[in-house]
Amino acid sequence: MEHKRFELAMSPHVGTHQSTRKIMFDVVIALLPALAAATWFFGPGALLIVALSVGAAVLAEYLCLKFMKRPVSFAFDGSAIVTGILLAYNVPPGVPWWLPILGSAFAIAVGKQAFGGLGHNIVNPALLGRAFLMASFPILMTAGWTAPEEWRNGQNNPWETNGIVQEELLEMPNADAISGATPLNVLKQSFDLDKSADLANKEGNHAEALDLEARASGIRHALSQKSTYLNLLVGRRGGCIGETSVLLLLAGALFLIIRGVLEIRLPISYLGTVAIFAWVFGGSGWFNGDPIFHVLAGGVILGGFFMVSDMVTTPVTPKGRIIFGIGAGLLTMIIRRWGGYPEGCSYSILLMNLVTPLIDRFIRPKVFGEVKEND
Amino acid sequence: MTRARTFRGGTHPPGNKGLSSGKSIRKIPAPDIVRIPLCQHLGAPSKPVVSKGDTVIRGQEIGAQNGFISLPTHSPVNGTVTGIEDFPMPHRRSGSVVVIETESEEGGQIFEKWDDFHDHSPAEIIERVKQAGISGMGGACFPTYVKLSPPPDKKIDTLLINGVECEPYLTADERLMLERPDDIILGMEILAYTLGVQRCVIGIEINKPDAIDVMEKKGVTVLPLKVKYPQGAEKQLIDAATGREVPAGGLPLDIGVVVQNVATAAAVANAVRDGEPSIRRIITVTGQGVSSPCNYDACVGTLFADLIEESGGYTGDVERLISGGPMMGIALYTDGVPVTKGTSGVLALSPQEVRDIAEGPCIRCGKCVDVCPLKLVPSMIATAAENRRWQMAKEYGALNCMACGTCSYVCPAGRYLVHYIKNAQDAIRSGQGEGV
């Protein structure tokens, strides 16, 4: 008997239109508004840094795949573009042009391809690239701040630390203790003054302690005046290229939520932890911190919506994701409050990335009908 | 109408039921040659009791029950046996079929007609359901009489009739509910009487308002259910209807529930009232790959090719031919396979309808975890299975998977999750890789 022959395949025979590639390009689209803000505030230099970083990431991916004789089509699935953008978003706007190239190439080659490529990397490649740059070029990575919009006034001099907040603060008495540009740098200075005051108190030098405390609270006061919530929301402040414009980052996040790409549990648990921690420990005493400031300043919005929520390096279960978010939030705030860096977002995520396999190993959803079996 | 209920998890594949939902059931005569598989049910194949050259009449037993989880097989036609041979099957590679040359389809009353089932004891009815060879017609093909004989220590209090039909494309159950509601309702009554239960409801997805309407007008308790795949899976239906969870590795009767498909209920009614064995069923022939999709009342042993021809043949390219629905159905390499008691649909999908995506690496998006109706972690079971770590796959609950395909459906990387998990199940069940 003659019958037509058909192809065989495993069920299901239909599927969604969603694909890895579409998800990656959705993330790219979601990151673009913040790039517009970065260009507006920090100048075309910021745009160039992002472009170089993306180009280096894609090229590194292509070369790695070629070298390992793997299908090079992976280089164009959009994931390298995401890594490139995120790395550029995590460096100060005043870094030299070769820095993002080096960082991106490291991120892709060591952070991603060395582990087996897409889906197999343990830590977020962009953050690993940033950590690599921080360790290798600490001065470039912490001194390249530029004040927002200054490039249009023709005084672009990225080698000086001249963020908006600091400029204003310079007019204050005793402002010499300040050497950072971002709001979190300034906040860190005030905490350092607090520490000195404590020390002075212990040594019995009460007058000096009082003076130091007054300076610390003066700085915090000035910070709250100059780094208004509005400035923080639109991104008119010093900071890394992509982290400043909270509003546009949130717009991108909203786009991802609508597209069903963003798992909301991660950013919510992360930012929630940051906010609660900031309220409890973030001020001069207990329960007088400013949670809104802590969420808006620094990189937790970028981190929370685009890096804590990175699919590959975070747990797959709902419960695991909440644990991840809380853990990263706590680490971020511990670093901010008591650690050596003003901002702890990227290291906290890297540390939690390392714990992810462990979380996935032990946190599993209760299988349908499991409890009743044990009755 | 009460608020539609549902279960947690699941997904929403496009229904595509419009292709055939408006087409009334067309009863088609048996083809000149019927090929009756000896194994149309879950369990041991029946033993052939006829041989080449024998004359058989319609309804005659041609295969005898062979064990507890097994059923007899009957001839759907009057005719002559021309042989017993190996033949391609819709649900497995091949199996024994009894080939019969059809002479006619008239007469052939083997079983006595029972005007009022109340005159007969539950035990008699169970015996009749067994003799009539009725198996679950929703897909699993489990012998129905076994489900009607729960161990004495299990108290059954609820009978659920499954009219959900959550598989996209299929409309056989929907048409049955619209056109033969009395058969279904009589079947329900017989089943409830046999099991001794008072509570008896029929679950229907709210995308079939006509069917809900018909059933409610007849005074049946309808449980409206949200449109979501796999709402018709036994455990998910019970969850939505009663809030009870079937224990992992257990059976619905462990929590006092018996579920029967609407087509099974109708078959029970036919067997008890009319003395008809299970030799015909309703089949949806659909997909963009056939000229005119339709619902047929065809006899077991009809070839898929006959049904396709009845529907005007193929239209252009057919990417895939499937027995059943697109989510759990089995792809066939040929349309030369016979209809069985469990064949709910014949699906000819055009290239546009079949998902075309190259398999990529898991990006750990967790979509499969969100949608798994059994709360498993499909991606991790699949990864363990890919690496042949069977013990780990088992730890992750591989054996609980019912292969509904929801995870593969949503996977953006196009991973063959069901395939990997089924591999793991086979390996674990066959004792491979102990301790690995």
How many Cα atoms sit within 13 Å of A243 on the Cβ side?
29
B13, B250, B332 member nearest A6 (Cβ): B332
Mean pLDDT for B111-128 is 95
Give Cα separations from B179 to B182, B206, B212 (angstroms).
9, 18, 13
Neighbours of B407 (CB within 10 A): 30
Which of B131, A341, B199, B330 is CA-nearest to residue B191?
B199
How many Cα atoms sit within 13 Å of B88 on the Cβ side?
17
Q: CB A369 to CB B245 under 8 A?
A: yes
Contact A57, A80 (CB under 8 A): yes
Contact B75, B123 (CB under 8 A): no
Q: How does DSSP assign B33-100, residue by residue?
A: EEEEES--SSSBPPEE---TT-EE-TT-EEEE--SSSB--EE-SSEEEEEEEEEEE-SSSSEEEEEEE
Adjacent-strand bridge partners of B257: B158
- Please write the tens of the pLDDT for every residue from B229-259: 999 999 999 999 999 999 988 999 999 999 9
Distance between CA A76 and CA A290 in Å, rounded? 43
Within B152-198, strands assigned E span: 158-162
Give Cα separations from B18 to A236, B11, B21, B76, B170 (angstroms).
55, 19, 5, 31, 10
Distance between CA A249 and CA A245 in Å, rounded? 6
- Please write the tens of the pLDDT for every residue from B351-387: 999 998 889 999 999 999 999 999 999 999 999 999 9
Burial call B309-336: b when 16+ CB within 10 Å, e when fewer: ebbeebeeebbbbbbbbbbbbbbbebbb
- Give residue limits of the domains in chain B: 25-110+277-349, 121-273, 367-429
Query: Which of the residue ranges A163-167, A270-274, A332-336, B403-407 would you say has the lowest mean pLDDT?
Result: A163-167
B168 contacts on A by Cβ (under 8 Å): 14
The predicted complex's ipTM stands at 0.90
Residue A204 pLDDT > 80: yes
Q: What is the CA radius of gyration of chain A?
A: 23
What is the CATH code of the structural domain delimited by B25-110+277-349?
Answer: 3.10.20.600
B255 contacts on A by Cβ (under 8 Å): 372
Closest CA of chain A from B220, distance in Å: 29
Q: CB B403 to CB A312 under 8 A?
A: no
pTM over 0.80: yes
What is the CATH code of the structural domain delimited by B121-273?
Answer: 3.40.50.11540
Higher pLDDT, A224 or B33: B33
Distance between CA B180 and CA A239 in Å, rounded? 71
Q: CB A15 to CB B366 under 8 A?
A: no
pLDDT band at A180; cut points 50, 70, 90: very low
Closest CA of chain A from B93, distance in Å: 12
Q: Is B165 exposed, middle or buried (0-12, 13-18, 19+ CB in 10 A)?
A: buried
A4, A8, A23 member nearest B335 (Cβ): A4
pLDDT the model gives residue B27: 96
Strand B61-64 to B55-56 pairing: unpaired
Mean pLDDT for B46-56 is 95
A313 contacts on B by Cβ (under 8 Å): 364
Q: CB A8 to CB B355 under 8 A?
A: no
Closest CA of chain B from A333, distance in Å: 27
Closest CA of chain B from A348, distance in Å: 20
pLDDT the model gives residue A162: 35
Which of A165, A179, A295 is CA-nearest to residue A225?
A165
Residue A342 pLDDT > 60: yes
- Please write the tens of the pLDDT for every residue from A134-178: 999 988 887 777 777 767 765 544 333 333 344 444 444 443 333
A320 to chain B: closest CA residue = B366
Which of A111, A209, A342, A5 is CA-nearest to residue B331?
A5
Q: Which candidate in B362, B394, B418 is best for mutational testing of the A interface (most A CBs within 10 A)?
A: B362
- Please write the tens of the pLDDT for every residue from A33-42: 999 999 988 8
Which of A120, A81, A125 is CA-nearest to residue A103?
A125
Residues 340-379 of B with CB under 8 A from A: 347, 349, 353-355, 357, 360-367, 369-370, 373-377, 379
Mean pLDDT for A100-112 is 97
- Give residue limits of the domains in chain A: 20-143, 164-226, 263-362
Closest CA of chain B from A315, distance in Å: 8
Residues 253-312 of B with CB under 8 A from A: 255, 305
